[in-house]
Amino acid sequence: MTNERTRVLFLCTGNSCRSQMAEGWARHLHAGAIEAYSAGIEKHGLNPNAVKVMGEVDIDISDHFSKDLSDLAGLDFDLVVTVCGHAHETCPVFPGNARVVHRGFDDPPKLALDAKTEDEALSHYRRVRDEIGVFMSELPELLSSQPNA
C-alpha cells in the first residue's frame, strides 16, 4: 500500500468554470486522498461567477487559473474526468494507466446568457456547482470501482 494520493484530472473545454469547480470540490472534500487538477482543451480564463458561487459554499478557487494540458505535461493521472461534451469528444490519449470517464454537466455561462438579473444568472452556476458537489461526494466509489464496471 502506498501513501500517494490518487491523481485526478478534471478536463473541460476552456478550464474556466466546470472543471475549476470540480477541482475545488475535490480538494475540499478529498484533500487527503486525491491530488486534484483541472485543465482545458484551451484556456478561457477563470470565470468570476464560478469563483463567486464556490465561495458561497466556503470553497475558495480565486487563486486558480486557466490551464491547458501542456501546463500539466509530465504528470501522470490515475483518473481523467471529462466534465463537458466537447472535452469528452476531443479527449486525448493519456500515457500510463489513466482511466478516462465522462460525467457531463451543463455549461453555466451558456445557460446564463439570457438571464435578466445577476441572481438569475447565478442560479445556473449554483445548480451546476451543487451537481458537481454531489458527483464529488461519490468520487471515492468511482475510484474504487472496476475500470469497466
Q: Would you name the residues annotated as active-site residues?
A: 12, 84, 91
Query: Do the Cβ atoms of 87 and 81 come closer than 8 Å?
Result: no
Instruction: Tell me the three state secondary structure of residue 7.
Output: strand
Residue 49 DSSP class:
H
DSSP string, 52-94: HHHHTTT---TT----BGGGGTT---SEEEE-SHHHHHHPPPP
